[in-house]
Amino acid sequence: MSTARELPVVGPALDRVDGPAKTAGQARYPSDFDAPGQAHGALVQSTIAAGRITGIDTSAAEAAPGVLAVFTHLNVPPLPRGPMTGLGVSPPAPLRDDRILHHGQHVALVVAETREQATAAARLVRVGYASVEPVLDLDDPRATTVDDPWGLDSERGDVEAGLAASAVRVEATYTTPDNTNNPLGLFSTLAAWDGDRLTVHDATQWPSMVRETLAHVFGVPETSVRVLSPYLGGGFGAGLRAWPHVILAVHAARELRRPVKLVLTRPQMFTSVGHRPKGVQHVRLGASADGRLLAIEHRGRSLLAAEDDDYEPFAAGSAVAYACPNVLTRDQQVRANVPAPVSMRAPAHAQGGFALESAMDELAQALELDPLELRLRNVADVHPALGLPWTSNALRECYAVGAERFGWSRRPARPRSQRDGHWLVGQAMAGVSYPWYQAPSLARATVTADGHAVVGGSGMDIGTGTYTVLTQLSARLLGLPPERVRLELGDSDLPKAPQAGGSGLTGALGSAVHDACTKLLDAFLDLVRDDPASPLRGSAPEDVLAADGGIRRRDDADRSETYDAILARHGRRELSADGSSTPARPAELGMAPAGAFGAHFVEVKVDEDLGLVRVSRLTTVIDGGRILNEKTARSQIIGGAIGGIGMALFEDTITDPVSGRIANATFGDYLVPVHADIPAMDVTFVGEPDRASPLGTKGVGEVGLVGVAAAIANAVHHATGIRVRSLPITLDALL
Ligand code: MOS
């Protein structure tokens, strides 16, 4: 039998199998779908951040051309809140009552014959408000707080004693702003009821979760709901929840007995589908004179919506980042009148890594020790909390290979000691990990009489390469050329797979695909076991491998048979097998499942007169376990690192401190990096297949982002001597 263990450690760089369809405009994104007889929705959103609706006058809107209905809290019955689904916390139901909890809250949905009519009529809805002063700030004394929401706070040893015993201590406060996920594709929902059956084309990273939510909210069996999202124009976490606008579109379609399509506008994307919430972090580190960490204390506070539960535990990652005997991590969420946050690429770790890896640079400076050397002296060679060996860990190799490729040894120790004309030049680094995350998954593999395979699960390709890597994997396991394998994803009717999130889908769905392909070969062997006409008769799974469109004996290449020949002789049109995967348990493994590790080395140039920061070089080395496709994996790391550059230098969702209105909710005003901001990036993979799964993969998505902002801030310090502890690093901090 061919197994995943026989796959190469770094898989071939197959071009994206969905690339031609995407570049030719043939790939249909959620908003590209239409249904016969569909109506169109447009949202009306609150213009205050806190208070009550005193009255809604919908008469002008209802009289406008083409308008079919206006839904408000006055005519929408109380809808149940969606269920907890895995990590997915459902937002509160929409249009519940007259309370306003944030600026941009949906207060009405206008449905009309055309999108233009709905949009025009939405402007005619008159809403009266009684406004109260909103809570918008972390330090507002009126705010309520939630301590340790996910039970991730941790403590080992005695931090105060560790600090007291330390020869060198640093202590600093770091702040990160609100960032907005901003996938390019506008989120949309097309909902169509046929009796009690519901079909929804939705912009989601998690079709099975949307199905479960809609079945729960609308009181129909899950088998009556189908959620489709074969392609998605990006998500970055925004597609990990069934948002209120999705519920509203489905409700309107049921009431009107017509399909309803609702496409958010770009400004609505800033308030309706989550964001990375702002926060403050306080870090204290202590070390011996020779640079051994004796204490890490990391406390984080971040904003949470008034009635929502999507938490960001900033500090949790610091519990396992380094070998250190005394560690304390504490997270607190502060409720405010802000739109609901959501995971945004490397949630919590993006912010937490900025604080910890900045503080490590400050500690290196205080110790007068090379920052890379400081990390090397504190590598956690076993899991620092569990004391178990890692299932894989090539962090030391990440450091060594990165330092070599970057030319770290040529870096002068003293800050502000290099210049290139009017540019001050600096180099710095960060060492990171992204935790292991895995969820159960199902998959199915089928070989048809024409010698093709169809492999699928309800997981997504959100632009990350799932179609491609699973095509490669299936082709390899079934002994077929990739062009004879078709992947089916993004459909909740397919075997249930988890979210495209947490950098965990390839491992989860890939392991289920591995299982399905293995069982499919078994099924073929069962067919020919007693078949006198088959050269494979009597073969056991370990006697054969998949090759050349069929199965052949390992000990005799001439004893082989193609799938189509077997199926034809047995009068079968196809043969299928179901596979599954379940996450490994640390106790059973006797090891600590490892996430991905990485090291980022960055060079920046800072204009001495203008304060302008340019990233001039970036070298990233990642231990992602087995890499299924070198090209798509590299693309993930490059994309992640660009997200880190955006976080470090550009991205900032600005909320007016009085009204609670987002002041830059457009792509013109919300800055993200463009090509001219991005240097050539050097990305290398190191490491071994991970031992937590037969597939051996680890997540290669979010680890590309974690720590990049710290590496840039550290490099800015090395260039200028100025320590910036607040993101984004704008020129005013450097003048
Ligand atoms: Mo990612 S924030 O898990 O989509």
Share of the chain above pLDDT 90, in %: 95
Tell me which DSSP letter residue 462 carries.
Answer: S
345 CA closest ligand 1 atom index: 2
Residues whose CB is less than 8 angstroms from the CB of residue 145 and which lie 6 or more positions away in sequence, other chains included: 332, 333, 334, 335
Match 């800033």 to its residue by tokens. Answer: 270
CB distance 498 to ligand 1 below 6 Å: no
CB distance 501 to ligand 1 below 6 Å: yes
What pLDDT, on the 0 to 100 scale, is given for residue 561?
97
502 CA closest ligand 1 atom index: 3
Average pLDDT over residues 356-362: 98
What pLDDT, on the 0 to 100 scale, is given for residue 75?
98
Q: Give the residue whose CA is nearest to atom 4 of ligand 1.
A: 237
Q: Which of 240, 623, 649 is nearest to 433 (CA)?
A: 623
CB distance 347 to ligand 1 below 6 Å: yes
Tell me which DSSP letter residue 37 carries.
Answer: T
Taking CA atoms, 488 is separated from 297, 458, 497, in Å, by: 46, 8, 12
The domain 279-437+588-733 having CATH identifier 3.30.365.10: the answer here is yes
Mutation choice for ligand 1 from 345, 505, 703, CB with most ligand atoms inside 8 A: 345
Tell me which DSSP letter residue 602 carries.
Answer: E
Q: Which of 576, 623, 612, 603 is nearest to 680 (CA)?
A: 603
Q: Would you put residue 503 in left (φ > 0), alpha (ψ -120 to 50) or beta? A: left
Q: Which of 88, 150, 136 is nearest to 331 (CA)?
A: 150
Torsion of CA 107, 112, 118, 123, to 10 degrees: -60
CB distance 696 to ligand 1 below 6 Å: no
CB distance 301 to ligand 1 below 6 Å: no
Mutation choice for ligand 1 from 343, 438, 647, 703, CB with most ligand atoms inside 8 A: 343
The Cα–Cα gap between 130 and 98 comes to 10
CB distance 237 to ligand 1 below 6 Å: yes
CB distance 349 to ligand 1 below 6 Å: no
Residues whose CB is less than 8 angstroms from the CB of residue 528 and which lie 6 or more positions away in sequence, other chains included: 534, 536, 537, 539, 561, 566
CB distance 345 to ligand 1 below 6 Å: yes
Our measurement of the distance from residue 460's CA atom to the centroid of its chain's CA atoms, rounded to an integer in Å, reads: 12
pLDDT at 622 over 90: yes
CA of 700 from ligand 1 middle (Å) equals: 12
pLDDT at 2 over 70: no
In terms of DSSP bridges, do strands 550-553 and 560-562 run parallel, antiparallel, or are they unpaired?
antiparallel
What pLDDT, on the 0 to 100 scale, is given for residue 87?
66
The Cα–Cα gap between 625 and 636 comes to 14
CA of 584 from ligand 1 middle (Å) equals: 21
Q: Give the residue whose CA is nearest to atom 3 of ligand 1.
A: 501
What tokens does 684 get? 């290398």
What pLDDT, on the 0 to 100 scale, is given for residue 366?
98
The 10s digit of each residue's pLDDT in 506-540 is: 999 999 999 999 999 999 999 999 999 999 999 99
Q: Which of 482, 708, 488 is nearest to 617 (CA)?
A: 708
Pick the CATH number of 33-132+184-234+239-272 from 3.40.50.300, 3.40.190.10, 3.90.1170.50, 3.40.50.850: 3.90.1170.50
Give bridge partners of residue 130 from the DSSP assignment: 52
CB distance 502 to ligand 1 below 6 Å: yes
CA of 502 from ligand 1 middle (Å) equals: 5
What pLDDT, on the 0 to 100 scale, is given for residue 344?
97
CA of 414 from ligand 1 middle (Å) equals: 38
Taking CA atoms, 426 is separated from 297, 417, 606, 707, in Å, by: 28, 8, 8, 17
Average pLDDT over residues 589-616: 96
Average pLDDT over residues 224-236: 97
Domain ranges of the chain: 4-27+439-583, 33-132+184-234+239-272, 279-437+588-733
What pLDDT, on the 0 to 100 scale, is given for residue 1?
59
The 10s digit of each residue's pLDDT in 148-186 is: 888 999 999 999 999 999 999 999 999 999 999 999 999
Longest dimension (CA), the chain: 84
CA of 535 from ligand 1 middle (Å) equals: 49
Match 């990273």 to its residue by tokens. Answer: 205
The 10s digit of each residue's pLDDT in 567-583 is: 999 999 999 999 999 99
Mutation choice for ligand 1 from 461, 702, 703, 705, CB with most ligand atoms inside 8 A: 702
Upstream peptide bond of 679 is cis (omega within 30 degrees of 0)? no
CA of 459 from ligand 1 middle (Å) equals: 13
701 CA closest ligand 1 atom index: 1
ipTM: 0.96
240 CA closest ligand 1 atom index: 4
In terms of DSSP bridges, do strands 39-45 and 260-263 run parallel, antiparallel, or are they unpaired?
parallel
CA of 342 from ligand 1 middle (Å) equals: 9
The 10s digit of each residue's pLDDT in 121-141 is: 999 999 999 999 999 999 999
462 CA closest ligand 1 atom index: 4
CB distance 236 to ligand 1 below 6 Å: yes
Asked if 702 contacts 346 with a C-beta cutoff of 8 angstroms, the reply is yes
CA of 507 from ligand 1 middle (Å) equals: 15
pLDDT band at residue 644 under the 50/70/90 scheme: very high
Averaged confidence pLDDT in the chain: 96
What pLDDT, on the 0 to 100 scale, is given for residue 4?
77
The 10s digit of each residue's pLDDT in 195-209 is: 999 999 999 999 999
Average pLDDT over residues 584-591: 85
Q: Note whether 4-27+439-583 and 279-437+588-733 share their fold.
A: yes
Task: Kindly report the CATH class assigned to 4-27+439-583.
Answer: alpha beta
Question: Of 312, 362, 561, 702, which residue is the catalytic one?
Answer: 702
Match 């912010």 to its residue by tokens. Answer: 351
CB distance 343 to ligand 1 below 6 Å: yes
pLDDT at 86 over 90: no
Q: How many residues does the chain have?
A: 735
Torsion of CA 542, 543, 546, 550, to 10 degrees: -140
Average pLDDT over residues 293-314: 95
Active site residue 6: no
Average pLDDT over residues 33-55: 98
The Cα–Cα gap between 709 and 707 comes to 5
CA of 437 from ligand 1 middle (Å) equals: 11
What pLDDT, on the 0 to 100 scale, is given for residue 723?
98
What tokens does 287 get? 């070390």
pLDDT band at residue 460 under the 50/70/90 scheme: very high
Average pLDDT over residues 333-350: 97
What pLDDT, on the 0 to 100 scale, is given for residue 49?
98
Tell me which DSSP letter residue 203 carries.
Answer: -
What pLDDT, on the 0 to 100 scale, is given for residue 88?
67
CA of 282 from ligand 1 middle (Å) equals: 25
Give the phi and the psi of residue 348 in degrees, each rounded to 5: 70, -45
The Cα–Cα gap between 653 and 355 comes to 19
CB distance 705 to ligand 1 below 6 Å: no
